[in-house]
Amino acid sequence: MTKILLIEDDVAFCKLLEKFLIKKSFEVTTAFSAAEAKSKIKSTEFDLIITDLRLPDYDGILLMTEIKATHPAIPVLLMTGYSDVSTAVKAIKNGAADYISKPFNPEEVLLVINNALHLDNKEPNKVASISKSTKQATKKTENKFVKGISKASQKLTEYIQLVSPTNMSVLIIGESGTGKEVIAKSIHENSSRKNTNFIAVDCGSIPKELAASEFFGHVKGSFTGAIQDKIGFFEAANGGTIFLDEIGNLSYENQIQLLRALQERKIKPVGSNKEIDVDIRIITATNEDLREAVKRGDFREDLYHRINEFSIHSPSLTERNEDLMLFSDFFLEKSNQELNKNVLGFSSEVMAIFQNYRWPGNLRELQNSIKRATLLTQGDFVEKAALPAEFFQNEEKITTDFSLSENEKETIMEALNKTNNNKTEAAKLLRINRKTLYNKLKLYNIN
């Protein structure tokens, strides 16, 4: 059984968290001060230590540093209020495994704890959060799947784990910029084909006249410009996975050619009489409703059913509001690697702006914004001045009538009414995060 030392001076909160962890089959020892914690660390071996950032008799970061000096193998998690997240990020550079921001939900606690324990055991498929250490910062983060803590992200992770071991064709549906290729790559890497090729194809960038050559290859002299034999995407992906992004952009003729290849599991290069057997798994993606395209006659119904043995929704960033800082920290680490920078985190002002912004470009916009801000940042933390102008244009559009004041209950009810009870949108109007809104709803008994 995993042994956890919980260091928290708020007795009521400490006991509540202790009960929850015990219920989840952890063995928990509590300490209400740094001195008590040090004594228990000397006498007992722990698998994980969770400490509050602010203790009445000691500094949480200093305590963490001392623990890591004497027990470097034990992961340490910091618990912190939202205003201290930047401090926690800096602490992670000095050895903390991760942090949990208050207020938090039970699922988040379990996710971070399990992640910290996996990191300690050097398990490969760890959750990306923020930079864990200088050594780990050198690892490549390109196209890495980031597990989130929101309900939409948890459902996505569940579906990926469910479908990956099979050979089912998967259709990924979602807005532009939501990371559909990353999802496809994660399915491939969690399948029995993980040691074979993963070929990604942007169907929107292939002229219909060249699609057959691109997909199936051609032989020298088969058409003007074919100066040598060429291997197509399907043959290159043989034994592995082929990912067709924006499949709805294929012409009707190209759809017929694709359907034939999928049905027969054979391809014929352009200009060749020789058929080639192919064993591939197909994953496709679209940002449009293919069912409507089928009704309009723009997309073949038989091909739709062939590629849609299992569908996955790729959630927008609005649907993954709780994951925003998780993705932000991941993209910051990625930007640091690419730009050879060492920016530690985001100022509280920038985090508030991120929470209020609507992110029409989803994860792609978030990544690009953070990369630009990282380049412009000279200090340890990204400041407001490094953000693009569109953030502030959006900020000006948000009416100030919805800032929380003395009439909190009425203001919250008005915001819920204006957004048709959409709590995510209401939280944005109120300029608070969704967790805070739920706490306020419970406080005022608003259903």
Q: For the segment 210-239, what is each residue's pLDDT rounded down to a tens digit? A: 889 899 988 887 777 777 888 889 999 999
Domain architecture of the chain: domains with CATH: 3-127 (3.40.50.2300), 151-314 (3.40.50.300), 321-397 (1.10.8.60), 400-443 (1.10.10)
pTM of the model as a whole = 0.60
- Cα 306 to chain centroid distance, Å, stands at 28
* pLDDT at 4 > cutoff 60: yes
* pLDDT at 142 > cutoff 80: no
Percentage above 90 pLDDT, the chain: 40
Cα 168 from Cα 190, distance rounded (Å): 13
Answer yes or no: are the C-beta atoms of 90 and 99 closer than 8 Å.
no
Cα 16 from Cα 289, distance rounded (Å): 46
Residues 319-331 have a mean pLDDT of 87
Identify the DSSP state of 221: T
Which strands, in side-by-side order, build the sheet including 48-52? 27-31, 3-7, 48-52, 76-81, 98-102
* pLDDT at 433 > cutoff 70: no
Confidence class of residue 138 from pLDDT cuts 50, 70 and 90? very low
In angstroms, the Cα distances linking 196 to 164, 299, 330 are 14, 30, 27
Q: Which is nearest to 425 in space by CA: 446, 443, 398?
A: 398
pLDDT at 248: 93
Cα 180 from Cα 315, distance rounded (Å): 9
Instruction: Name the token pair of 298.
Output: 């723009």
**Distance between start and end Cα atoms, the chain:** 39
Q: For the ranges 19-33, 81-95, 247-261, 332-346, which has the lowest average pLDDT?
A: 81-95
pLDDT at 90: 63
Answer yes or no: are the C-beta atoms of 181 and 243 closer than 8 Å.
yes
